[in-house]
Amino acid sequence: MIRKRVQRLAVFILIGIAILIIRLVQIQLMETKSFSDRDINLIEASVAQRSQEMILDNGRGKFYDRNDKPLTYETVPSLVLFPFLKNMNWDVEQLANIIGVPTKEITAALETSKEPFVLGGKNPIQLTDEQMEAINELQIPGVFAVHKQFERKTTPAAQLIGILGENPEQLKERYPDKDIPLNTLIGITGLQKSFDEFLLQEENTKLVYHVDGKGGPLFGIDVKYVDPSNPFYPVKINTTIDMEIQNEAEKIADKHKISKGGIVLLDIETNSILALVSRPNIDEKDPYANDGAKNLMVTAQIPGSVFKTVIAAAAIDNSLNNPDRVFDCSKTIRGTEDKVYDHGPLNFTDSFAVSCNYTFGTLAQELMEKDETIIETYASKLGLMDNVGWSGDVFHFKDFHQLADEEKGQVFLTNEERSDANFVAQTGIGQYNVRITPLGAANMMATIARGGKKEMVRAVSSIEYKNGSTLYSFPQESLGGDEISPYTAMKLQQLLREVVVNENGTGRLMQNLPYDVAGKSGTAQTYQKEDMQYENKWFVGYFPFDKPKYAMAIVKLDVPSEEGSVTPIYQDMVNYLYQYDHQ
């Protein structure tokens, strides 16, 4: 009886030992990098238990402006201190003398520290080259002068660049065949999202110091500076943004209190984005609150009279722009007396200058009698219907889009709308279901300024390897599809200039700017709340008129009708760009 009990006990012990061995094999050999359903990397965890580290660079690719200035971070010569210093006798006074900081400030920071930290935190003490050299010559364990990368407090063109986040489900969906830690940052919006696979982080650049069980330094083991050995990654994304212009555009937008809307500025020669401001700002605590993470410059909006440019192009090509023809601009679009704008009889050119709704509602109806698709055809010729951001095949990426969040434009939603005369008239003045993006509007102006040549808009010029060689260059590309003729473009140029030089033109307040401007205003009704009408207020155009260099769209969205136009914002931008070009 006793013998059987001993045998059973021995069996249970053997089974227990076998289970422990299997478990140890699982932990030590089989699942070292992905243990349990939380995918814990046991090797990294064990190293973390016996080391302290300071991340200097997270290893993800970075964005730069056209002058090679970093957009998303800044490198600061900083002092890094390890927490075990508070339990050591070391010459804190000598360090304090080098950096010019009171001793008690250094010791106080150490007392509250549990991990390696930069003295000064988010506002680090910036060291000189001489100070860095003197600090490192002290050779004090746990005291290091290094160049550390900090995220900018405010990212220029934040919505264009986009936001990052941890999303394990999205990570697995995007990269099912890659062995990537689940806490890897990925692009959620903007260029961070479009270029995510190029930007995926490699190994961190960091300082690593081995410590004993109490957190003290293991003397005899030097600090390790861990820098990825891969000469190609992380990559640089060279954007077309000019940070100096971008920063000024942000200041001007905030000066004029754009709460919803923004500014987009294009370089006409290269058809590239020089500056893009979208408001509201991104809220760091809740990026998706109040459309803060949304790039409203690539989001389709109601354009109002900006869309009359499309009707004008179609009218020119269909000989409806007879200078002797007169329209009764004392009437509303429905043919009733206009109690707000009584412009009297005007020809085609003057109608465009003062933005007469009756004229362009009438022309839209006449055009649709000729061809029920004509308005959409001309909107497409001017680049307003499809995405205008750069797209094409890049290596194994088929139909790669730089601006992944960009929306398309629209004119009519149903065939029934095309047969409704009132609906057609409203469409002719950019109301009802007409939608275009501010980027598309700016690109339309660039197209007209170039004589009708339609091109894709670039936000990124190239991707560069870590060693400085080029991974890929994004060439200037035609937008494709039909274009307006050079003659039509010339006529539109004259109309757009008339908006400014005509004594009654909607852009007449820009007559005395240092650059001659050509453009079109727009006011679109969006919704009514109680007794208040809300509107989108636009001005889009290009300058200088004789030698076009810039195309720009500025818009305030959903503002009370009594709020002023965006003309003062446009004036400030034109004045600044003139100074920028002549500095």
Is-contact 81 119, C-beta < 8 A? yes
The full DSSP string for 458-510 is BSEEEEE-TTS-EEEE----B--S----HHHHHHHHHHHHHHHHSTT-TTGGG
Is-contact 275 245, C-beta < 8 A? yes
Query: How many residues are there in the chain?
Result: 583
Report the relative pairing of strands 236-239 and 62-64 from DSSP bridges. parallel
Helix, strand, coil distribution of the chain in percent, nearest 5: 35, 25, 40
Which residues, in sequence order, are bridge partners of residue 79?
Answer: 145
Q: Which helix (H) or strand (E) holds 436?
A: none
Q: Which two tokens stand for residue 509?
A: 């307040």
The 10 Å Cβ neighbour count of residue 103 is 13
Cis, bond preceding 475 (omega within 30 deg of 0): no
For residue 402, the Cα-to-chain-centroid distance in whole angstroms is 11
Angle between helices 308-317 and 357-370 (to 10 degrees): 50
Determine the Cα–Cα distance for residues 102 and 122; give it in Å rounded to an integer. Answer: 19
Residues near 430 by Cβ (< 8 Å), separated by ≥ 6? 302, 303, 304, 305, 306, 307, 308, 522, 524
Determine the Cα–Cα distance for residues 288 and 37; give it in Å rounded to an integer. Answer: 30
Active-site residue set? 305
Q: Which two tokens stand for residue 492?
A: 């539109």
Is-contact 307 314, C-beta < 8 A? no
Q: Which two tokens stand for residue 190?
A: 């903007």
Three-class SS of residue 276?
Answer: strand
Which residues, in sequence order, are bridge partners of residue 519?
Answer: 541
Is-contact 307 301, C-beta < 8 A? no
Q: Which two tokens stand for residue 445?
A: 């102006």
Three-class SS of residue 564?
Answer: coil
Q: Which two tokens stand for residue 378?
A: 């001309």
- Nearest Cα residue to 334 out of 432, 431, 426: 426
Cis, bond preceding 568 (omega within 30 deg of 0): no
Determine the Cα–Cα distance for residues 67 and 69; give it in Å rounded to an integer. Answer: 6
The full DSSP string for 173-226 is HH-TTS---TT-EEE-SHHHHHTHHHH---SPEEEEEEB-TTS-B-TT---EEE
The 10 Å Cβ neighbour count of residue 375 is 23
